[in-house]
Amino acid sequence: MLINEGSASASEILAGAVRDNNIATLVGYHSFGKASVQSVRQLADNSAVLLTIAKYLTRAAGTYQRRA
């Protein structure tokens, strides 16, 4: 399966499942690596906060998140 830095969200989940179950080999570059679901919460003073409310994990390798 071909992936690159433009691969994100659902395609990363599919790629992880394919890899973990030995269905195909991943080729290409690292995927986008976001691996999280975020939500913007409006505050009383009209500012906002961005909260991470979920993370995508693979069965074998753990997180999709890019390590810096």
Task: Pick the catalytic residue from 9, 11, 31, 36.
Answer: 9
55 an active-site residue? Answer: no
> Rounded CA gap, 43 and 66, in Å?
29
Cβ atoms of 20 and 60 closer than 8 Å: yes
Task: Pick the catalytic residue from 7, 11, 31, 34.
Answer: 34
Q: Which residues contact 44 (CB under 8 A, 6 or more apart)?
A: none
34 an active-site residue? Answer: yes
| Catalytic (active-site) positions | 9, 34
